[in-house]
Amino acid sequence: MYTAAKRILTLLLCALCCLPAAAAREEAFVPTVRHTKPAPPQVHITEQDLSAYTLLYETSDAEYYWREDRDIIAVLDKANGYVWKTGADIGFPKQVQSRVKEAESAEEKLRLAEPLEKSMNSTYIGVANSLITAEYRDGKTFYAGSAAEKGVDSLLSAIPGEPGRFLLSVDFLELQLRVEVEVACLKKGLRYDIKADGISGPGKSKLTAIWITPFLGASGGEAAYFDPDTGDYGEPRPKYAPPGYAMVPDGSGALIRFQDNQVPFVEYVGDVYGQDPAIRTYYASAASDAVPLRNPLMPVFGIAHGDRQAAFVAYAEEGAEYMSVVMRPEENLRLKYNFCYPRFEYNVEYYKVYNRKGSGYFTMTDEAFRYDVRMVYLFLHGDGSDGSPAADYTGMAQAYRRHLIEEGVLREAQPASPDIPVRLDFILSDMKKSILGYEQVVVTSARQVGEILQQVRDSGVSNITGSLTGWQAGAETLARPDSFRFHRAIGSEGEIARLFREQAAQGATLSLAREYTLLNSRMTSYTNVAAKHINTWYLLHDKSWVFPSAPISEFSYARPDVAASWVREIARRAAPFSTALTVSGITGTLTSSYDRNGVSLTLPDGIRAVQDALSQAGQQLELDLVAPNLYLWQTAHRFLNAPVGGSRHVFETDEVPFLQMVLCGSMEVYGPYCNFSFYTREDVLRMIDYHLYPAFILSYGPSHLLADTLSGDLYSTQYEQYRQLIPEIYSQVNAVLRGVGGYKWVSRFVPQAGLVVNRYEKDGQKALILVNYTPSALSFEGQTVGPQSALCVKEAPRP
């Protein structure tokens, strides 16, 4: 039986191999979520009836109106006549029907007969209209909008002496909660400020979150319309839904296009900077081999209506560490709307353990998190031809980048070389179990690093940056992060210093790399070092499922202020011979810490500690940061392991390089390691499309020697396997990207499926990078780009 089955399988494989080549050539290009699709259809821009609104304020670019009974601000964009409303502008069915019934004439009935929303109850109509919504726990989760039908009073009043600024006071009567929101009308945008002191009342202990304008830019809806012939409402039908999408900061950026879903989806929730381990439901967590979700590295999102017609970008200037971006696709909560909004967390439910057996109960914190919120919304119009950011995700990236440059978070920078750089990181060693305890497995020495770098230079690649991981005695597993003891089989401190100086003389930049967040009890004592959960137990992270043979499986998290002191120490010791330092862990993991008296280290405290340490280290060394959160961008010289794409939720429709467009021109941005499934032809094209530089992690010896260590997931690192691939990938990416060195990335669009056009500008000169993901040659503006190829085309300079 086995032999027969084997013979049949062999015949099938032979048949597949003998398929004519023409069949492969005729293979059609099928876009997936990994590709960006052409722009959505045009939105219908019609004049809006604002007779129920009162003019609040006017600038050269916009008019601002207020509807008192529904807490809605309408913003009229003077550039195109488009009206944005902060709420859905829906009447409560009972109130609408009562007014219609009391009307005396048919004309009056028709005037008062607003559509009756059919996909929402009265609670959600209040949420849909509201400027803010309170989310609270009282046995279960409830929602109350500032424009609720009952139980809530709100009042908008002008702030004396400050034109364009208003105060919205909201009293949630049943909750016994008062929230004050300062509203500022910008040149063409809105700013909301919720101060910590602006939230008061006994109900504050039940408050879990505040949502801001959840239905701004929402698309969809289903309503019954009044029929004057019958004098009654007809059957519900879909409302006009503006075509478009929400841009969420999932990884590099993802679009969720507005569509009529046939099944309910869960919502997208992006915890900005990642979830704080100290306030998770349980103090213990475990690593798994599931593909992890990508946390937003920046507190921004946006919505676009139509094809470069109308859009907004929204970002947090304060309170970002407590913010989530929530996008609810149509049919979520059984609502017929697509909508996206920021959620700011004020309390959590967690499992409080009260004995060593793990017994406990669910409860909430005694006090709400205390912080200020500032959200800014900027409205965009057109295709960018007038010099303003375009009304699409690329314009959102441009507008956000401008803001970050104005705030000093990013800077304009020019490349040091006409050729792009390549990143070559080296894994030197790690620890495994041995008969007598632990053994340090060395797979690369300092001398071997030098030999490999010389061979790479001999292959034609000269602009090299890189780092050494596992350089300490005890490696990443057992060495305390601030230890500066080198393992003798790797090389002494003098030999490492000589390697760095020799490479610097040949134009290569090397650095010492270290992860500073995860620690274990063999590495250091937890006392005053490890962070504690809100239930006052030390945080626990178990890696045994992923690394069953590793010598250590239980870890905790370092307090950010302690980790920051470790970075300072390593920077101080490395500065005499190194020009750079590679930092990971604290760049992307943010945690608070608690004790019996409550919070002992807040998230803002942790951010400031890490910022101060990296700012100090950055005065001595160039900082290479691994996937850093936005609050560290000001200190970064190189951005490592930039995400490519998002988490690929089933409702995400496109992936876009929003992050890369924000960063481009401010620092070197490197992609994931090419030797870990990022080396196919399409991956190389995506590197070019996303303006990413190639990176590899290498070893001299075979990677299987690390199988029983915590570096066991580095399953393919031996240089000999990649000797040819490194110059091959580098030359392909460099051939295109070197043509736009020092240029500004100004736009990106998809004229047809599979063809991406990136526009760059520098001193009045324009350049295009055409990326063809399809198996057929495609043309754009007279330029033909071959199958699965990329091309840089420069406009002839003007005389």
- Asked which of 112-116, 163-167, 198-202, 557-561 is least confident by mean pLDDT, the reply is 112-116
Burial of 4 (C-beta count, 10 Å sphere; 0-12/13-18/19+): exposed
Q: What are the DSSP calls for 178-225, one per residue?
A: EEEEEEEEETTEEEEEE-GGGEESGGGGTEEEEEE-TTTT-EE-EEE-
- The answer to whether 159 and 165 have CB atoms below 8 angstroms apart is yes
**Cβ-Cβ contacts under 8 Å for 504 (sequence gap 6 or more):** 510, 579
CA max distance for the chain? 96
User: DSSP code of 739?
Assistant: G
- Mean of pLDDT over the chain: 93
Residue whose pair of structure tokens reads 């309408």 in the numeric block? 74
Long-range contacts (CB closer than 8 Å, 24 or more residues apart) made by 757-764: 758/689, 758/691, 764/797, 764/798
- The answer to whether 227 and 234 have CB atoms below 8 angstroms apart is yes
At 779, phi and psi to the nearest 5?
-125, 150
Q: What is the pLDDT of residue 109?
A: 86
Tokens in use for 692? 């990413």
What number of residues does the chain have? 799
pLDDT digits (tens, 9 = 90+) for 455-501: 999 999 999 999 999 999 999 999 999 999 999 999 999 999 999 99
**Cβ-Cβ contacts under 8 Å for 256 (sequence gap 6 or more):** 245, 246, 248, 268, 327, 329, 338, 340, 651, 652, 653
- The answer to whether 249 and 263 have CB atoms below 8 angstroms apart is no
Residue 154, classed as helix, strand or coil, is strand
User: DSSP code of 755?
Assistant: E
**Cβ-Cβ contacts under 8 Å for 122 (sequence gap 6 or more):** 92, 93, 94, 149
pLDDT digits (tens, 9 = 90+) for 378-426: 999 999 999 999 999 999 999 999 999 999 999 999 898 999 999 999 9
333 alpha carbon, distance to own chain's centre: 24
Q: What is the pLDDT of residue 111?
A: 87
Beta bridge partners of 747: 759
What Å distances lie between residue 735 and 49, 73, 458, 461, 727, CA to CA?
Answer: 55, 50, 18, 12, 12
Q: pTM above the 0.85 mark?
A: yes
**Cβ-Cβ contacts under 8 Å for 307 (sequence gap 6 or more):** 39, 40, 41, 42, 43, 392
In this prediction, residue 376 has a pLDDT band, given cuts at 50, 70 and 90, of very high
Alpha-helical runs (H) found in 599-680: 603-618, 658-663
In this prediction, residue 684 has a pLDDT band, given cuts at 50, 70 and 90, of very high
Query: 722 pLDDT exceeds 50?
Result: yes
Helix (H) or strand (E) holding 73: strand 72-77
Beta bridge partners of 66: 54, 73
What Å distances lie between residue 588 and 271, 625, 629, CA to CA?
Answer: 12, 9, 6
What is the radius of gyration, based on Cα positions, of the chain? 29
Candidates 613, 610, 617, 612; CA nearest to 574 is 617
User: DSSP code of 16?
Assistant: H
**Cβ-Cβ contacts under 8 Å for 732 (sequence gap 6 or more):** 684, 688
pLDDT digits (tens, 9 = 90+) for 32-41: 999 999 999 9
**Cβ-Cβ contacts under 8 Å for 799 (sequence gap 6 or more):** none
d(CA 275, CA 255): 22
Residue 101, classed as helix, strand or coil, is helix
Over pLDDT 70: what percentage of the chain?
A: 96
What Å distances lie between residue 160 and 157, 163, 167, 583, 616, CA to CA?
Answer: 9, 8, 10, 49, 43
d(CA 667, CA 669): 6
Query: 16 pLDDT exceeds 70?
Result: no
Q: What is the pLDDT of residue 798?
A: 54
Residue 715, classed as helix, strand or coil, is coil
CA dihedral 513, 514, 515, 518 (to 10 degrees): 160
State mean pLDDT over 286-312.
94
Q: What is the pLDDT of residue 358?
A: 77
pLDDT digits (tens, 9 = 90+) for 129-154: 999 999 999 989 999 999 999 999 99
Q: What is the pLDDT of residue 5?
A: 39
Tokens in use for 430? 């790690």
Q: Higher model confidence: residue 227 or residue 659? A: 659
User: DSSP code of 756?
Assistant: E
In this prediction, residue 21 has a pLDDT band, given cuts at 50, 70 and 90, of very low
| Strand ranges inside 586-660, DSSP E | 593-595, 598-601, 622-626, 638-640, 654-655
Q: What is the pLDDT of residue 13?
A: 35
Quote the crossing angle between the two packed helices 725-737 and 681-689, to the nearest 10°.
Answer: 30
Tokens in use for 30? 């099928």
**Cβ-Cβ contacts under 8 Å for 143 (sequence gap 6 or more):** 123, 124, 127, 133, 134, 135, 136
Q: Higher model confidence: residue 330 or residue 767? A: 767
What Å distances lie between residue 202 and 136, 188, 366, 367, 518, CA to CA?
Answer: 12, 37, 12, 11, 39
Tokens in use for 150? 């009952």
Q: What is the pLDDT of residue 12?
A: 33
Q: What is the pLDDT of residue 568?
A: 97
- The answer to whether 396 and 658 have CB atoms below 8 angstroms apart is yes
**Cβ-Cβ contacts under 8 Å for 112 (sequence gap 6 or more):** 96, 99, 100, 103
Q: What is the pLDDT of residue 27?
A: 67
Query: 4 pLDDT exceeds 50?
Result: no
Query: 584 pLDDT exceeds 70?
Result: yes
d(CA 780, CA 560): 50
Query: 766 pLDDT exceeds 80?
Result: yes
Q: What is the pLDDT of residue 797?
A: 58
In this prediction, residue 8 has a pLDDT band, given cuts at 50, 70 and 90, of very low
- Strand pairing report for 232-233 and 226-227: antiparallel
Dihedral sign computed on CA atoms, order 236, 239, 245, 246? negative
The one-letter amino acid at 235: E
Over pLDDT 90: what percentage of the chain?
A: 85
Candidates 127, 128, 167, 185; CA nearest to 151 is 127
The one-letter amino acid at 517: T
